[in-house]
Structure 1
Amino acid sequence: MNKKKGGKIAAVIDIGSNLLKMRICQLRKGEIVTLDRLQYPLNLGHEVFTGGKISFESLRELSSILHGYSDIMAEYGVDQYKVVATTALREAKNRAYVLDQLKIQNDMTVEVLEDSQEKTLIYSEILAGLQTMAPQKMGNALISYIGAGTIGLSVFDGQNMVFSQNVPMGALKLHDMLGSIQEETDSFYVVVKEYLDSIIGRIRLPQPEGGFESLVLTGNEIELIAKICGIEPENGRYIIKAKQIKSLFKEIRSLSKEKISDRFGIEEEVAELLYSALAIYVRLMQFVKADHIIAPKVDLWFALMKQMLIPKSANEYAEHVRVNALSCARAMARVYNVNEHHTENIRKFACKIFDKMKGMHGLDRRKRLLLELASIMHDCGHYVNAKEHLSSSFDLLKNIDLYGMTAEEMLIIAYIARYNEYDVPNYDGLEFIRIREPIRLVISKLVAIFRLANALDKAHKQKLDDIKVRLDKNRLLITGESNENLYLEKWAFEQTAPFFKEVFGINPELTIKSTMI
């Protein structure tokens, strides 16, 4: 097989919970064209969700199929490829051994996507596809991706995401957890409903005034559900009436997997997932008044493929994450009654210092985003405990889901928000010893910048509307104009300056000019 004429060829291999998939594509005249598509059934999810580990038999099978995929990539002349894994490998206790063996046996580096990374890539494609719909038709929407092992939930306000959370419960995991009860009762669907109520029903979704206008659901089973309902896709999406989903679940909810398999001509393993997926869909429909669901045809591979074949799309995706992460952070801060004027002031000051120090800190724009997010949410802890608000902010931020952020990034954000003019990171402290050295260094740099910015609005009264920042040899000169009393801010600034100098070797100096003529 010769390399096709045209642009570069790329491949994405997705090690999923129940399927190993590969897609090979080429860029032709600005369009991504599929050259080949393969998939192979695996039981990784079953093994991990029931036993916690991937067996070596499954690992050998996985490695063997990947060797075959490598041969096919070579035949096509693939220029670059990416191998990703999701829930099954993410939750496997022996993940390190599996990744090591795949590197040794197949010379493949597998990127295990975190929940937030996987869902955000999918959400970006969902929103790109929904842009063709009129905004007034879309309105406020609950958007959910139902995977094999997790459910992603996000709230869209018509412009941006304002909430994002991942639930450790997917179609396959739900079946593996409760499947043993099915043979014991004819009312298994009641057990499933009660269990989903105890998980999904307790999530505090930010309900827009008047409720959600749209429900956007997608996942591996959506095409099968649409096919059973006799729905054809339009403009890359299915529009399925809510009553059709409810009717279909009512039809199968008391049936065994064998009977579901016979009725629809599908494999029993697929029948199990169909049951679980429908149960989750019906539960999510309780959040929304809409009489239909919008089900886009999206997949993880396309978002990854686009970033490889269309270079500018990587920057577009980074901007998508930035805008929506900031939107979610502001929405969350409002829940905890923060002073938005104060936090936006701090964010602006912190960014100015960060940008001017670019040649000194060596941090990228993603780290700048972490600084922005910490600035917006740093006062959330006051809602919990005014006496220990710094510790409360730390505990809150390290444990929440924020659009597009990894667990490690949320930990960095929590640490940035953890320190004020009295406290600095302690490298010898137990909490810091557990963190990798490069991350400790990132935290220290961002904390130094944040503390300086935070000091400039210590009274929370925005006495300084703006600042000018200039780097002069070993001095960072910060200048502001105000006719108000800034003795508190100057004191706080002096308290934060020594740590800044310790981290960067630069002495920050604050000059306030009077606005009086």
Structure 2
Amino acid sequence: MSAPLPEGRQPKPPPARHVAVVDCGTSSVRAFLTEIRGAEQRILEDLVYPVDLTPGFTGGKLDRAAMDGVVQAFTGIRSAAESYGIVDIRAVATSAMREAANSDVLIESLRQKARIEVEIIDGSEAARLYFEALRVLLARCGKRLSGNTLMIDVGGGSTCVSLIRQGKLVHSVDEHYGTIRLYEQFRELKDSTDFAVTIDRYALGAAHMLLGRLPEGSVKHLVVTGGEVRRLVTLLTPQSLGLLESLDPVVVTQWFERMQPMTPQQRADACGTDLFGAARLLPAATLIRHLCAISGADRVLVPQLTLRDGLLADLLPGAHGPHYLDSQHLLAEARQLVTRYGGNHDYADNTASLAVQIFDQTRNLHGLGERDRTLLEFSALVHDIGAYINVRERHKHSMYIILAADIAGLTGDEQRIVAHIARYHRRSAPQAHHRDFQALHRRSRVLVSYLASILRLAYGLDVERTQRIKKIRCEVSRDHLLLHVDRRQVALERWSIDGKKGMFVETFGLNVKVIPREGE
């Protein structure tokens, strides 16, 4: 224990850390050069470089001028960062770069010319970053959002949708609805009144789709972010200066209806911006009004946050960094997948419980850590969701669903591991001709073999799906793993385990036997 400080003397402040976070979007590259001292952040510079990556929306190739503009932007950020002595730079790119056919060429150019590694993130990682940014902002405001919160970021190329339930991120999806994307889609109409009408109709369909894909349950809070959304707040409530402002959908609707019959120049004059900037406000405004009308929300909360705030949140003390959510958040997402695909929660929870009991009691065999335990528990919860498509091949369909799902808080490798653990919970073990399995990294293949072997045993102990066995005690005795259960009649469980233990025997070199409560 450290000695108490002399009276009147202040504790020494934590050392400062200087970092840069960069977001490469559709129309700009933006960076925060930041000083982090403990939990406090101070923006040293807020850099903005205009770019044009709209060709990426069509899956087309970015031309040389577009790529040169991005390289110049990142080179400028590197130079500015070095002037502060910053070497720690975290940079991400979103939908436009993700969809461009030649994005790999641009990423390599940035690595060589600007000496910055850029990660193209998917929608689930973007959702996690916005969620982390919101958590930091709410803590700073001393506020808490209870119940179901729907958080939507309306970007230039896509819209990121997240469902937060009791403080946990349980569902996320990325939709191809963006302010610049819509402008490009309907630009032939931009000089006619059909432009606003068409965007309005398109937004109505998008709102129905966004809300229709949500898990059941009413939404208590609607949180909407994005550059155009923040501009709407400034335009419609100019006195708003707080970190978390409220926007009235009635006011938004009235504004949109005033803008609708105007010419592009009249809109630009009314909004105090250029033609392009005014046109981009329309998709954001009409999506908000339709979301509120369909969901019944009487107001929209608009936090002053960006993707860069999420990147900074990953760098605060205690944060785990990119692609990470703790086990409670991940398991909440897993349970939401079970609900979405009509699974039996009692069965899923009990299978997961049995699996982690075996994992915990066999640590000397596998030597795995807590993150691996979470991956096993996640896999055990969702292993049966493929039955939603077809019962006979459900293990393969489970793998397909997991790989296709937006799961925030897992890296790409972890998502593939979870999918393979679910795939191998029944039927054949991994084979040399299973290309997807063989494509995994060696460590990932070993991890799948370990965890799928354990999941098979848990799966084999609930043939009736009645949770008859809830507790087990594992004992390693010579060349056997003995599963002690609190039941006398275990003939069915023995038959089941005999048919499912093969992968465990091959992986760990131990036979498996079920032991009833009072011996034989």
Structure 2: gaps of 5 or more residues:
1-13
Q: Which residue is equivalent to 2:509?
A: 506
Distance 1:247 1:476, change over 3 A: farther
Q: What is the TM-score of this pair, normalised by structure 1?
A: 0.87
Q: Is the 8 A contact 1:232 1:238 kept in 2?
A: no
Q: Is the 8 A contact 2:190 2:264 kept in 1?
A: no
Distance across 2 between alignment mates of 1:483 and 1:360? 26
Letter in 2 for 1:111: E
Letter in 1 for 2:19: A
Aligned length: 505
Distance 1:331 1:43, change over 3 A: same
2:150 corresponds to 1:150: no
Letter in 2 for 1:22: A
Deviation of 1:281 (Å) = 1.9
Question: Identity, % of aligned pairs?
Answer: 24
Distance across 1 between alignment mates of 2:317 and 2:51? 32
From 314, 320, 343, give the equivalent of 2:320: 314
Distance across 1 between alignment mates of 2:333 and 2:436? 27
Q: Which residue is equivalent to 2:9?
A: none
From 392, 397, 401, give the equivalent of 2:406: 401
SS at match of 1:164: strand
Distance across 1 between alignment mates of 2:436 and 2:170? 31
The equivalences for 1:372-451 within 5 A come to 372-405=377-410, 409-432=414-437, 439-451=444-456
Distance 1:508 1:110, change over 3 A: farther
Q: Which residue is equivalent to 1:493?
A: 497
Q: Which residue is equivalent to 1:226?
A: 233
Distance 1:461 1:107, change over 3 A: same
Q: What is the TM-score of this pair, normalised by structure 2?
A: 0.87
Distance 1:91 1:363, change over 3 A: farther
Q: Is the 8 A contact 2:229 2:285 kept in 1?
A: no
Letter in 2 for 1:92: A
Distance 1:516 1:126, change over 3 A: same
Q: Which residue is equivalent to 1:37?
A: 46
The equivalences for 1:202-213 within 5 A come to 202-203=209-210, 204-206=212-214, 211-213=218-220
Distance across 2 between alignment mates of 1:384 and 1:172? 36
From 151, 175, 179, give the equivalent of 1:167: 175
Distance 1:270 1:362, change over 3 A: farther
Q: Which residue is equivalent to 1:480?
A: 484
RMSD of aligned C-alpha atoms? Answer: 3.1
2:374 corresponds to 1:369: yes
From 63, 85, 105, give the equivalent of 1:77: 85
Distance across 1 between alignment mates of 2:479 and 2:204? 58
Q: Which residue is equivalent to 1:98?
A: 106
Distance 1:500 1:163, change over 3 A: same
From 459, 466, 473, give the equivalent of 1:468: 473
Distance across 2 between alignment mates of 1:79 and 1:422? 50
Q: Which residue is equivalent to 1:350?
A: 355
Distance across 1 between alignment mates of 2:465 and 2:76? 62
Deviation of 1:363 (Å) = 5.6
Distance across 2 between alignment mates of 1:61 and 1:134? 41
2:21 corresponds to 1:21: no
Letter in 2 for 1:31: E
Distance across 2 between alignment mates of 1:235 and 1:208? 32
Q: Is the 8 A contact 1:459 1:489 kept in 2?
A: no
Q: Is the 8 A contact 1:476 1:508 kept in 2?
A: yes
Deviation of 1:389 (Å) = 2.9
Distance 1:397 1:421, change over 3 A: closer
Deviation of 1:97 (Å) = 1.2
